[in-house]
């Protein structure tokens, strides 16, 4: 590999090692402003401002700072989220989670130490990718 | 998970994901899905075979194995691999275009008179606590 490139394109080729994974990853030093949609799972450790609508599982891990509307099948939060969280199946807040806003989810678990300020509504989801993936009823 | 010892962390926009908006950061990014908008990285951008990027790009090294359309700046190197398709305006310090690659548009050398000044990578936006 890297026969022509001067520095063996080690930086560029590093990306080649990671492929065909269906779990998206937004690292701690990444900042996204806008809309994220699709399916599959996502791990966020950086900053995200806007809308997320994912037919999968989202893990918000510290030091993530999210701002906006987040929809997924399941949400596991141990970072900072401000806005609206909507889950098709469940939301889990870890000890280091700091959530401000609204949560819509049929199931909720909160670990001792988590911070939540806002409203929770627990009923069947209305619309979006989250409801399309609901496999369990009752 | 996506740790790379030599040049920092690499984030991933996986195949079933679409990002519309602005992506910026101090790390590398690997795109197997779709990105539309603006990408500004202090690190490298790698567009995989299934990746489709329609954006204004400012990155260190850019490797294209998928489809990229837009105005791109590769401060170090722009590589288009055999499966890659580039359409747009490119400015790079160095190019590597492999046999079979598609390159349609303008290519400029970084620092030459024909290249317009592009701003440096902005710092990540500060969000309210």
Domain residue spans in chain A? 27-131
Can you give the residue ranges of every domain in chain B? 10-105
| Cα gap A108→A123, rounded to integer Å | 11
Q: Are B84 and B65 in contact (CB under 8 A)?
A: yes
Residue with structure tokens 């590597």? B96
Residues 6+ apart with CB under 8 A from A127: none
The answer to whether residue A122 scores a pLDDT higher than 80 is yes
Which residues in chain B touch residue A43, judged by CB atoms under 8 angstroms apart? 1
Cβ contact (<8 Å) for A34 and B43? no
Pairing relationship of beta strands A115-121 and A98-104 according to DSSP bridges: parallel
Instruction: Please state the rounded mean pLDDT for residues B22-34.
Output: 96
CB contact A100 to B (< 8 Å): no
* Residue of higher predicted confidence among B44 and A22: B44
The strand ranges marked E within A1-138 are 23-26, 30-39, 41-44, 47-55, 57-60, 65-77, 80-93, 98-104, 107-110, 115-121
| Cα gap A31→B95, rounded to integer Å | 28
Q: Are A48 and B118 in contact (CB under 8 A)?
A: no
pTM: 0.80
Distance from CA of B18 to the nearest CA of A (A): 5
Look at residue B53 and give its three-state secondary structure: strand
Residue with structure tokens 């490119």? B90
Q: Are B35 and B19 in contact (CB under 8 A)?
A: yes
The answer to whether residue B79 scores a pLDDT higher than 50 is yes
Q: Which residues of A86-96 are buried (b: 16+ CB within 10 A; e: fewer)?
A: bbbbbbbbbeb
The answer to whether residue B2 scores a pLDDT higher than 60 is no
Residue with structure tokens 């080729």? A13
Q: Are A72 and A130 in contact (CB under 8 A)?
A: yes
Q: Give the number of other CB atoms < 10 A from CB of residue B2.
A: 21
Distance from CA of A109 to the nearest CA of B (A): 23
CB contact A132 to B (< 8 Å): no
Instruction: Please state the rounded mean pLDDT for residues B76-88.
Output: 97
| Cα gap B28→B25, rounded to integer Å | 8
Instruction: Please state the rounded mean pLDDT for residues B82-88.
Output: 97
Residue A10: what pLDDT?
42
């Amino acid at each position: 590999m890297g026969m022509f490139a001067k520095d063996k394109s080690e930086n560029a080729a590093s990306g080649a090692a990671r492929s065909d994974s269906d779990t998206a990853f937004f690292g701690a030093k990444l900042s996204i402003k806008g809309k994220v949609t699709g399916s599959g799972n996502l791990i966020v450790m950086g900053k995200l401002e806007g809308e997320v609508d994912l037919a999968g599982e989202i893990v918000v891990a510290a030091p993530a700072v999210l701002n906006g509307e987040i929809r997924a099948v399941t949400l596991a939060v141990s970072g900072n989220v401000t806005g609206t969280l909507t889950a098709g199946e469940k939301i889990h807040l870890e000890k280091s989670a700091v959530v401000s806003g609204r949560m819509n989810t049929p199931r909720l678990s909160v670990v001792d130490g988590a911070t939540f300020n806002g409203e929770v509504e627990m009923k069947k989801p209305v619309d979006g990718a989250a409801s399309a993936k609901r496999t369990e009823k009752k | 998970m996506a740790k790379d010892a030599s040049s920092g962390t690499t984030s991933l926009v996986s195949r079933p994901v679409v990002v519309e908006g602005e992506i910026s950061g101090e790390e590398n990014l690997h795109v197997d899905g779709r990105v539309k908008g603006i990408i500004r990285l202090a690190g490298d951008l790698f567009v995989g075979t299934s990746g489709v990027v329609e954006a204004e790009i400012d990155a260190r090294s850019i490797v294209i194995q998928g489809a990229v359309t837009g105005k791109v700046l590769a401060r170090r190197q722009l590589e288009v691999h055999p499966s890659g398709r580039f359409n747009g305006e490119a400015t790079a310090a160095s190019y590597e275009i492999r046999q079979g690659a598609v390159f349609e548009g303008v290519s400029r050398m970084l620092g030459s008179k024909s290249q317009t000044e592009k701003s440096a990578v902005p710092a990540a936006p500060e969000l309210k606590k």
